[in-house]
Structure formats: C-alpha cells, structure tokens
Structure 1
C-alpha cells in the first residue's frame, strides 16, 4: 500500500506555502489546489519520499493548469526532485525559481553519505560549497555528483 501524496497549505509572510509529503505517483491528485494558487506560492518538497514516471506526468499536467500570473518558488527540493528538474522539460516552468535543495555529499573518513541542505546562493560558479562532515566534524565532504550536471537548474 502506497503512502500516497498529502498536500497541506499554510501562510508565510503573505505567501501561500504548499507542503507535499509522501509519494508523487499516478494516484496523486492536485485538485485540492484548484483556484487556491494566486500571488506568490512556495512549493515545499521536504517530505516527498519518491516520485515515479507517472507522478512526473501528473505534476507537469498540474503545473500547466496553474495560472501564468502565479510566482512559483520551490523549497527543500530532495535529490529526486532536483534530478527531475534537470531532466524533465516542464517539471519547473519558466520564471519559477528554486530557493533551497538537498545535495549529495560523501565523507571518506566515516564512510557516510549525507544529503546536505543548501540554498541556491551557496553554490558559486557552479561549484559545490566545501563543507565539514556533520558526523565526524573534521573531514571535508566530497560532493557526490557531477557538479555541472547536478547544478544545471541554477541559471
């Protein structure tokens, strides 16, 4: 049994914040958002666990229905979301922006993978910031993807 997609809305400084949690798949229904998306809207992907190919199709179809006058910001984009943004035309529409995302890092000293939360402003000239391991606190983390490909969404 799939955990399904849950959609919650809230307000933050006059912006509508739409928080998605669970799985975005063929059963995802975005109709609860119809006529609610006006002004500035922040899509928060912090709790999205998975998106499959059918979910991508549902998402793109949903985005096409959002009024072009709405300003969209993507926040807390998991690696699976960033990969779709980079690969799938229409996953993020023209004019939308990404505020924050998770990036894959690896610590050789403690043999641990880490998903590090970054703001777009942390990435300078397409280079991942150099960070210390949050576990061992001494080693520099290695960026665990190809920067040019992973940061493609930053224009």
Structure 2
C-alpha cells in the first residue's frame, strides 16, 4: 500500500484513484480536461485524514459543474461520506461501495461491493441493517459488520436521481 495518491485513467471519463488522501494530495489531474461527467473509482483509497478531506472538498468545488460518480467506495471513503456532508456535492452520485459481512456460524468474513439502486436503495430515512447476504461457505445468513445507522448514513441524503451509465 502506498501513501502517494495516484491516478490511472481507464477511459476518457473514468479514473481509478489510489493511495492516501492527505495534506499533500494533488487533484490537478482531474482538472486537466473539461469533463461533463467523471467516474471516480475509489476502491484503492485506504486512508483519508482531516487535511485530505479539506483538499477533497476544495477539489470538488473546482469540479462543481461536473457530474461525478463515485464507484467502488472503500471503507475509508464511506466513513467520510457519512461524516462530512461536503464530501459529496449536488452533482455527485454514489454508485457502489464496500461493506463487510461476517458469518457467525463458520467465522467467515467477506467484503462485498454493494450497488446503490440494486443491492440497497438511497433516500431512506434510516437504515437498520445492510442488505442480506448468505455465507459463501455454509450458506447461512451473514451479519452486516458495521453500525448501519452510521455507516449507511450517507445514503439517507442521496436521492434516486437518474444516473448515467458507466
């Protein structure tokens, strides 16, 4: 795992961002082209500190006219989505995010990528649990390994707006 933030463009409008978002993060890579829509794959963001949150919010402000889709949000990103409302602007959509499940029957744990609008709906007033998952080993119901009230809080503030296909 590297601390240096890196960008890998998969398509003209789809970039994977990896590393740690902190005071040294430079998002100028995202401003090089005039995008109307931008897909940010955030699976490999492993840590975000408070200075990084500030840098992210400032970058979003520069991209305020761009429709931004967050893809594969890591645990670190989901934590910020739920704690810092400014981590999303009015033109941001969360498409998918990671969640951890555990099986109390066979002690298996699994990270699952949940797709908003398919696995879980946005815009609910509160979330009492994550979507149901069966253990890949013993086929028993797995437990959502987060406090759904706090981990899924960001979904309450999202609407089910029409999304652009990836």
With normalisation by structure 1, the TM-score equals 0.86
- For residues 40-94 of structure 1, give each alpha carbon's deviation from its aligned partner in whole angstroms, at most 9, with x where no partner exists: 100100111211122111111111111x321110000011111101111311111
Shift of 1:6: 0.5
Whether 1:99 and 2:95 are equivalent positions in the alignment is yes
What is the alpha-carbon root mean square deviation over aligned residues? 2.0
* Alpha-carbon separation, structure 2, partners of 1:143 and 1:80: 17
CA contact (8 A) 2:66 2:91 kept: no
Q: Which residue of the other structure, out of 13, 18, 21, is the alignment partner of 1:21?
A: 18
CA contact (8 A) 2:106 2:138 kept: no
Who is 1:128 aligned against? 130
* Alpha-carbon separation, structure 1, partners of 2:98 and 2:140: 19
CA contact (8 A) 1:83 1:150 kept: yes
Who is 1:52 aligned against? 49
* Alpha-carbon separation, structure 2, partners of 1:24 and 1:90: 15
* Alpha-carbon separation, structure 2, partners of 1:96 and 1:137: 38
Who is 2:28 aligned against? 31
Q: What SS does the corresponding residue of 1:90 show, helix, strand or coil?
A: helix
Shift >4 Å, 4+ stretches: none
* Alpha-carbon separation, structure 2, partners of 1:33 and 1:137: 44
Whether 1:119 and 2:115 are equivalent positions in the alignment is yes
How many residue pairs get matched?
A: 150
1:71/1:141 CA distance change after superposition, 3 Å: same
Who is 2:60 aligned against? 63
> Please, which runs of 5 or more residues in structure 1 have no aligned partner?
none
The structure in which a higher percent of residues are strand is: 1
Whether 1:88 and 2:84 are equivalent positions in the alignment is yes
Whether 1:40 and 2:37 are equivalent positions in the alignment is yes
Who is 1:142 aligned against? 143
Q: What SS does the corresponding residue of 2:73 show, helix, strand or coil?
A: coil
